[in-house]
Amino acid sequence: MVPVYDPAGVALGTDACYEPGDVEARTPSVAGLDGWYNRLIHADRGLALPQLLPEFRGAANLIYIDPPFMTGRTFKAGAQILTVDGISYRDIWNNNLDTYLQWLYETFHYLYQLLAEDGSLYVHLDWRATHYARILLDEIFQDGPRHSGAGLKNEIIWHYQSGGRAQKSFARKHDTILLYTKSRHYHFHAERVGKVRGHEKRNHMRKTTGPDGQPAWTIRTGGKIYTYTAESLMALDDVWSDISHLHQKDPERTGYATQKPAALLERLLLASSEENDLVLDCFCGSGVTPVVAEKLGRRWLACDQSEVAISVTRTRLLQQVRRNIFALQSVKKVE
């Protein structure tokens, strides 16, 4: 399976710019686009990602995507997509699994090329598509030398309490986030996202008193004695139950149907990226990825084929008290 899109004859064009503090858009000709600027791209990923390759091949330090889950509903990838000077692109699944898997493979193909050698790819899916995605990602990421350490690093279970009830099956209460890397030399900072141990006794620990007179707990493992205090950080495991789904009255909600909580993206970005790293999301939806990237001092590229998604994302970005310049772009026909 290879990508079928031909990007020839189209190019990314800048429609508007928003400098720090701007509420209204500036025309590209009067904005300061000489240095770095973040990009919000109104285009389908099949058109936008190939256009990013010449400039950003191997440059994305962290990629997060929350693609459609193959819910069984007809999905038209790009009802608006690109209707400029007669160009029109549509990708219709019509509940066809083969078509969906081809679409997913093409997405992974482009993202692999954009991912840095020490970068991390997080793919957020549910039970409908996770098993298919792993097969496709394994094929792409394990194409190189076996000793490189490329491939699956984690299958994270995001467990939440909200959701529907089921009468003839167990109620579904989780999503899956797959972490893939190109090599073993990827960035990962467990200490940034660990939980404070607190005063609860765990495993077979013995309660004692630390050098400072505060309570401590010890455990003997492998002939060594380890001491922990209430302030010690516990390594985070791969089942996350401490981040809840956004409820209808949650102040964070934007009204976007599939919005993910900012706390989820903060954890991923803190664990797998550094300040000023480049973050990419080609299904930005409610805009949580670029918003969190701005908050944490990361550069970002975000795109979506939905006009609603672009509008919601732009509004959220403009509400940020501290943000960098960003450009609103789209794919246009070139002669």
Q: What is the largest CA-CA distance in the chain?
A: 76
Q: Is residue 157 part of a domain?
A: yes
Residues 133 and 154 in one domain: yes
Q: Is residue 2 part of a domain?
A: no
Residues 87 and 222 in one domain: no
Structural domain that includes position 150: 10-194+243-333
- Per-residue pLDDT of 206-232, as tens digits, reads 777 777 777 777 787 877 877 766 666
What is the C-alpha to C-alpha distance for residues 48 and 44, in angstroms, rounded to an integer?
Answer: 6
Q: Whole-prediction pTM value?
A: 0.86
Residues 224 and 281 in one domain: no
What proportion of the chain, given as a percentage, has pLDDT over 90? 60
- Per-residue pLDDT of 252-273, as tens digits, reads 999 888 899 999 999 999 999 9
End-to-end CA distance of the chain: 30
- Per-residue pLDDT of 11-55, as tens digits, reads 999 999 999 988 888 887 655 567 899 999 999 999 999 999 999
Helix (H) or strand (E) holding 215: strand 215-221
User: How many other C-beta atoms can be found within 10 angstroms of the C-beta atom of residue 113?
Assistant: 16
Residues 68 and 209 in one domain: no
Q: Which carries the bigger pLDDT value, residue 147 or residue 1? A: 147
- Per-residue pLDDT of 73-83, as tens digits, reads 443 433 333 43
Q: Which domain-ending residue is among 177, 212, 234?
A: 234
Residues 137 and 170 in one domain: yes
Poorest-pLDDT segment among 95-104, 109-118, 182-191, 311-320: 95-104
329 bridge partner residues: 14, 41
How far, in Å, are 76, 145, 151 from residue 155 at the CA level?
A: 29, 22, 12
Q: Is the pLDDT of residue 101 over 50?
A: yes
Residues 273 and 312 in one domain: yes
Residues 136 and 281 in one domain: yes
Residues 170 and 211 in one domain: no
Residues 86 and 228 in one domain: no
User: How many other C-beta atoms can be found within 10 angstroms of the C-beta atom of residue 20?
Assistant: 11
User: How many other C-beta atoms can be found within 10 angstroms of the C-beta atom of residue 122?
Assistant: 23
Q: Is residue 3 part of a domain?
A: no
Q: Is residue 1 part of a domain?
A: no
CATH of the domain at 172: 3.40.50.150
Residues 185 and 126 in one domain: yes
Supply the mean pLDDT for the chain.
86
Q: Which domain-ending residue is among 210, 234, 258?
A: 234
Q: Is residue 146 part of a domain?
A: yes
Q: Is residue 276 part of a domain?
A: yes
Q: Give the pLDDT of residue 162.
A: 81
Residues 137 and 255 in one domain: yes
Query: What's the number of domains the chain is made of?
Result: 2
